[in-house]
Amino acid sequence: MRALYIHADSMEFEAKEKTKAAEEIPAELRSGRMEEVLVAFITVESGDEGKIAQVASEASRDLLSTMEKVGAERVLVYPYAHLSGDLAKPKASVEALDLLTEMLKAAGAEAHRAPFGWYKSFDVRCKGHPMSELSRDFKGKEEKRAPKGEDSYFVLTPEGREIQIGDYGGGSECMRAMIDKEALGKEAPAAGEPEYLRLCRKFGIQWEAMSDAGHMCLAPHGAMMFDLISDYATQIVNSSGMSVYNVKGTNMFSLDEPAVKEHADLFGDRLYTVSTGKKSFVLRYAACHQQFAMIRNWNISYRQMPFGAFEVADSYRLEQSGECMLCFRSRRLNMPDFHVMCRTVPEAQEYFAKLDGDIFGEIEKIGRDYDMLVNFSSRKAYEENKALIEGLCRLHNRDALIHLYPDGINYYWTVNIEYHLLDQMKRPREIGTVQIDVGNAERFGITYADEKGEKRHPIILHCAVIGSIERYMYSLLDTAVGIERSGSPGYLPVWIAPEQVRLMPMSGEFAGAAAEMASRLRAEGVRVSVDDTDATVGKKVRRAKQDWCSYAAVIGEAEVSSGRLKVYVRSENRDAEMGEGELLARIKGETAGFPVRPMYMPSELSRRCEM
């Protein structure tokens, strides 16, 4: 049901001519005039036919609330077929309009209804204040029901066996930690400062003290890493093999919009809100609102599906300040949100499995592995998707921790996988995720035309292949800490290392040669710095290692005359002899397929500010 509200000084109408769908009404009801009236132009849609009571109830509550806000003395329910091209049958429309009018009267409002199915003339004098013109879209959501029972957990094996938590004795260290935290409510207390925070400081990643709690700021090295990860997340999605629409949107949405309000209510108590004095807005906690608001206005055919929409969306979640964790849990995060529109549940399951493979593949590229926490919105959802999850367990040759939500709540999703790695503090950390959404297409009015030309609501997949930008950064830093613990110098993958090459002239005599080599490497897309300070060679070498440069080479007489370099290779913790071309070829090989960005600060160390 769609509605347009006009708060009017007066409204006058007269029924002129019948249509084929016109209802029979007495002559005295074919015209009317009202003052100080809220006029509700109403279109009943085909999707309302199976839930007329719910839609009318939702509309009546909103009309009563709006009457109170604007100070209207009465309401006129005015049938109006021009707000939608998807009309309900006349009988259902009349039933909905009558029920809406009676509900308003039962609540104590002075309510009237104009005739249905007549060509009518009308004259309305809108008041013109900020709330005198409002639009609505009612979906007839059900009242929230209390859950039946409690959350339950068990382990599903690749063979399809269901093992109760108390009987389970296997699994990886990460799986056992997930069971302790999720199923048993136990988590080991932190012991001292997490080691990754030292690396955050090294790369200029910190909390912003002048902002709200949980907001990060990034110095040049951290900012460059952030942007490279954002580029990479975009690259992954756009090479997924399906059509992808890259979009950009706003970060706040009005709670006056029913779809936004309903979706926000489902999210719970972590909403970040902004009030302008006239309206309240919810800051988005993912890209869902913006992408769905766009897609609902697209003309979509089954031939174009499946397709995806993508944005790296600044998102806001009002986390408890004491629970905020640099890079991992913040109040402002950046989510590479990928939504895939599918025609059917089987098609959604097929692409769900494909995205699962992408998620595992990406974490394996940095030498890590995942365990799966699989959430189901009900026992029914589990039974309908059990074969899908069994197949993924067999594919990855690992068990999955299953979490069943209690029945009785009509969630918009059916199955959601959280992909956890075990960090160096021995805690499971959710990074990637994928989810099947069966409710939001209807809630936001997203439809496609099927083979018969009939409108259908798509099934939507929600996915963050590498998790949020911040959490992927956390994964890289945590991996580097693990490398350090093995006895080797920690390092970052070359594609994201802030400084890939550091050249160190032995003296001012060789500064020109170092600068020329740096220029050639830079032209090939390599991030190269030159230590042109007056420091000793030993200090320059130590500084290059402290700065985590992937490669570092001293430039002196021997190097200039021979064209051969003794290059310190951080990932191998050794010196290797190679020419400039070999060094370039090695870097190109290690960064192939990854995004490239220039350095975010001066290349010459003598020009850099101390931070």
Give a yes or no: residue 452 inside a domain.
yes
**Inside any domain, residue 274:** no
Asked if the structure places residue 392 within a domain, the reply is yes
- pLDDT score for 289: 85
- Whether residue 23 is found in the same domain as residue 127: yes
Looking at residue 343, what is its pLDDT? 97
Residues 328 and 189 in one domain: yes
Let me know whether 289 and 384 are in one domain.
yes
Q: List the CATH number of the domain containing 517.
A: 3.40.50.800
Domain containing residue 116: 2-137
Measured in degrees and rounded to the nearest 5, phi and psi for residue 25 equal: -140, 150
Q: 378 and 243, same structural domain?
A: yes
Q: Check whether residue 456 and residue 562 sit in a common domain.
A: no
| Same domain? 299 vs 392 | yes
What total number of domains does the chain contain?
3
> Environment class of residue 305 by beta-carbon count within 10 Å: exposed (0-12), middle (13-18) or buried (19+)?
buried
Residue 115 near residue 23, CB atoms below 8 Å: yes
In a domain, 278, yes or no: no
Say which CATH number the domain at 84 has.
3.50.80.10
Query: In degrees, to the nearest 5, what angle opens at C-alpha 364 toward C-alphas 359 and 370?
Result: 65
The whole-angstrom separation of Cα 201 and Cα 203 is 5
Tell me, yes or no, whether 513 and 469 share the same domain.
no
Q: What pLDDT is stored for residue 145 in this prediction?
A: 54
DSSP calls for 513-532: HHHHHHHHHHHTT--EEE--
**Any residues with CB less than 8 A from the CB of 51 and at least 6 apart, and which?**
140
Distance (Å, rounded) from C-alpha 31 to C-alpha 34? 10
- Looking at residue 331, which CATH number applies to its domain? 3.30.930.10
532 and 399, same domain (yes or no): no
Contact in structure between 256 and 134 (CB atoms under 8 Å): yes
Do 312 and 336 contact (CB within 8 A), yes or no?
yes
Q: What is the mean pLDDT for each group of 10 consecutive residues in the chain (611 residues)?
A: 94 93 89 95 89 89 91 95 91 93 92 94 91 84 62 96 94 96 85 91 96 95 98 96 95 83 73 81 89 95 97 92 91 96 97 98 97 96 97 97 88 95 95 96 93 95 97 98 96 98 97 97 98 97 97 97 97 97 98 97 96 84
**Cα–Cα dist 501/517, whole Å:** 11
pLDDT at residue number 147: 61
391 and 349 together in one domain? yes
Tell me the CB-side half-sphere exposure of residue 123, using CA atoms within 13 A: 7
Could you say which of 117, 137, 157 is where a domain stops?
Answer: 137
DSSP state of 45: B
If DSSP codes are grouped into helix, strand and coil, which group holds residue 374?
A: strand
Helix (H) or strand (E) holding 503: strand 501-505
Q: What is the pLDDT of residue 51?
A: 85
CB of 513 closer than 8 Å to CB of 565: no
Claim to verify: residue 243 and residue 348 sit in the same structural domain: yes
Asked whether residue 220 falls in the same domain as residue 339, the answer is yes
Token pair in block for residue 419: 């992909």
